[in-house]
Chains A and B, each alone.
Chain A
Amino acid sequence: MNSPSTPDRDVLVDIRDVHFARAGRPVLQGMRLSVARGRITVILGGSGCGKTTLLNLIGGRLRPDRGEILVDGQSVPSLGTRALYELRKRMALLFQSGALFTDLTVFENVAFPIREHTRLPESLLRKVVLMKLETVGLRGARDLMPAELSGGMARRVALARAIALDPMMVMYDEPFTGLDPISMGVIAQLIRNLNRALGITSVVVTHDVAEAMTIADHVYLIGDGRVIAEGGPQAMQASSEEHVRQFLDGLPDGPVRFHYPAADYVDDLRHPGSRA
């Protein structure tokens, strides 16, 4: 762990002892993790364990109750609006839904951040957009509307839009969810290529173990609002720690209980009046 006074040049995102509660329910409790520059970091965790919250904290859309979040040496929670927007131009978040603008064509969607933040002449802008679309293999789909795209294609367009301004980092929120195996493979391939070819730091939040393990440089397993285990993909596969085993092997019961916390079963059945 680095001391706050000496930020590590190789660490792009540093999350230190972050606590966050939503509507009184704790989501993150003492989260600590760091993302290495130019690597693919995978954050694994069950549904509803605060993975998306974590990405929103890094992106500055939420503020932690306690703790520090450093991105490229800047403390995100203490940035003003202008500085935060400057920082956001250098990082992209790929939403699970894609979040494409439904009233714009594929081309205009990818052109959107370029039009907003630069003053490229139209001919140059066209070249940049087509290059980005070519990267994700959808140059031919430029005139389609988002409603005409399949789930996998929509996510690829969203990815092209995310890298339109050549960010230093892309965060992927559940990039594999709801895709067929081929589309999944395509997305995994793209994440790896963008990382290897362009050196884009990648943070992948997912619960899809198999795909995650194929692309990860470093894996964090989180649960109960904190990191349970971390390590390289091989080390994680070989781990005998019971949380890791339960998650990687998909066991229904283990340290993470099958039952949602509830009153005693027999008592509950005997008192029909109480619904809690």
Chain B
Amino acid sequence: MTDTAVHRIGRWALARIVRLGHATAFLHVLLVRSWRLPSRPGPAAAKAARLVVHQLFSVGVLTLAIILVSGIFVGMVLGLQGYNTLVDFGSEASLGLLVALSLTRELGPVVTALLFAGRAGSALTAEIGLMKATEQLAGMEMMAVNPMTRVIAPRFVAGLISLPLLAAMFTVIGIYGGYVVGVIQLGVDAGVYWSQMQDRVDFYDDVVNGLIKGVVFGFVVSWIAVFEGYDSVPTSAGVASATTRTVVSASLAVLGLDFIMTALMMGGS
């Protein structure tokens, strides 16, 4: 049988489509299970809440440090670069505006999502993949406990909640980073830094749209992470490649979706 490039491309495309189908079917079950988490009878709902809280810790709290440190540095770089560009036009008064707009619209949600994919997404995939490889998920099933409800859905929900909150923190700390460089170091007036920002950053067009991006990225990154873990080949090599795939595909998905959403938001306003 000859194996031409066309055959190979066709086979590759078919494999992608099949995998996308699996991921979609998985998402359906995942959403149903996540939706039912809070609506379970009394004590079960409390138990589900506790599971989500535990995952918020490992997904959200443990990602906090990298988000805050990155946020302050990104803000400082924006302050420095922005000042040097604006000062040529004599409009360094707009520094606060530039920093705030860049962060709320783009850098806040996007950089947070990329860091989140690397820090929390990969950990989610590896953890679920290892649970599968060591038969913990199968063991749970045989104990009549649905791993989708017990393991996967709480992690997904925690990711969904964490990312927008992290993005908001990233944005705020970044604005203070810009403040440190622009106001304290380079001498832009503090009042001007804030007033220009408040005048021109729109709550709906900039802040809410940024928040929507955060929610969408949280959804996509968490979905990819738990799917790759659940679908991984249960060997050490399989878990390793699933972890890599999570970071790569989640990052690409974030950047692609960011473009689409930005186009839609700009067009809509």
Which of A97-105, A135-143, A260-268 is the contact stretch?
A97-105
Contacts of A95 in B (CB 8 A): 135, 138-139
Given contacts A99-B135, A102-B136, A119-B43, contact A61 B141 (CB under 8 A): yes
* Nearest B-chain residue to A91, judged by Cβ: B142
In the complex, which residues of chain A have a beta carbon less than 8 angstroms from the beta carbon of B150?
A: 116
Among the listed stretches A18-26, A32-40, A82-90, which one makes contact with chain B, having 4 or more residues with CB under 8 Å of it? A82-90
Taking a contact as CB atoms under 8 Å apart, the answer to whether A101 and B136 are in contact is: yes
B interface, how many residues as a size bin?
A: 10 to 19
How distant is the Cα of A89 from the Cα of B143 in the complex, in angstroms?
Answer: 6
A61–B134 CA distance with the chains assembled, in angstroms: 16
**A59 and B144 in contact (CB under 8 A), knowing A95-B135, A99-B135, A102-B134?**
no
State in angstroms the CA–CA spacing of A30 and B234 once bound together.
29
Residues of A contacting B143 in the complex (Cβ-Cβ under 8 angstroms): 88-89, 92, 112-113, 116, 161
| A88 surroundings in chain B (CB, below 8 A) | 141-144
How many residues of A are in contact with the other chain, CB < 8 A?
Answer: 21
Chain B residues, CB < 8 A from A86: 144
Instruction: List the B side residues contacting A117 at CB < 8 Å.
Output: 144-145
Q: Does B146 contact A (CB under 8 A)?
A: yes
Q: Does any Cβ of B come within 8 Å of A93's Cβ?
A: yes
Residues 136-157 of chain B: 1 if any A CB is under 8 Å from the residue's CB, otherwise 0?
Answer: 1011011111100010000000
A112: B residues at CB distance < 8 A: 143, 145
Bound Cα distance A88, B143 (Å) = 6
Q: For the complex, would chain B's binding face be called helix, strand, loop or mixed by DSSP majority?
A: helix
Interface residues of B in 78-115 (CB under 8 A from A): none
Q: Please report the C-alpha to C-alpha distance between residue A95 and residue B144 in the assembled complex, in whole angstroms.
A: 15
Q: Which of these, A89, A96, A97, A100, contacts B144 with CB under 8 Å? A: A89
Q: Shortest distance in angstroms between A102's beta carbon and chain B's nearest beta carbon?
A: 7
Q: Which residue of B lies closest to A119 (CB)?
A: B43
Q: How far is the CB of B251 from chain A (nearest CB, A)?
A: 28
B135 touches A113 (CB 8 A): no
CA separation between A89 and B145, bound complex, in Å?
Answer: 9
* A99: chain B residues within 8 A (beta carbon): 134-136, 138-139
Assess whether A92 is in contact with B136, with CB atoms less than 8 Å apart: no
A170 to chain B minimum Cβ distance, whole angstroms, is 11
Residue of B130, B141, B144, B150 most packed against chain A (CB within 10 A): B144
Q: How far is the CB of A66 from chain B (nearest CB, A)?
A: 24
CB pair B145–A116 under 8 Å, yes or no, is yes
B residues within 8 A CB of A113? 143-145
Cα of A117 to Cα of B43 in the assembled complex, Å: 12
Contacts of B139 in A (CB 8 A): 93, 95, 99-100
Taking a contact as CB atoms under 8 Å apart, the answer to whether A61 and B138 are in contact is yes
- How far apart sit A95 and B146, CA to CA, in the bound complex (Å)? 17
- Report the separation of the CA atoms of residues A209 and B144 in the bound assembly, to the nearest whole angstrom: 32
Alpha-carbon gap, A85 to B150, bound state (A): 14
Q: When chains A and B are docked, how far (Å) is the Cα of A55 from the Cα of B142?
A: 11
Known A-B contacts A61-B141, A119-B43; A97 and B134 likewise in contact (beta carbons under 8 Å): yes
Which chain B residue has the least Cβ–Cβ distance from A56?
B138
The answer on a CB contact under 8 Å between B142 and A97 is no
Query: In the complex, what residue of chain A is closest to B139 when comparing beta carbons?
Result: A99
Q: Tell me which of A86, A92, A99 has the highest count of chain B C-beta atoms within 10 A of its own C-beta.
A: A99
Q: Tell me, in angstroms, the Cα distance from A97 to B142 when the chains sit together.
A: 14
Instruction: List, sorted by A's number, 12 A–B pairs whose CB atoms are closer than 8 Å.
Output: A59-B142, A85-B144, A86-B144, A89-B144, A92-B142, A93-B139, A95-B139, A99-B136, A99-B139, A116-B143, A119-B43, A161-B143
Closest 5 CB pairs of A and B: A99-B139, A99-B135, A88-B144, A85-B144, A93-B142
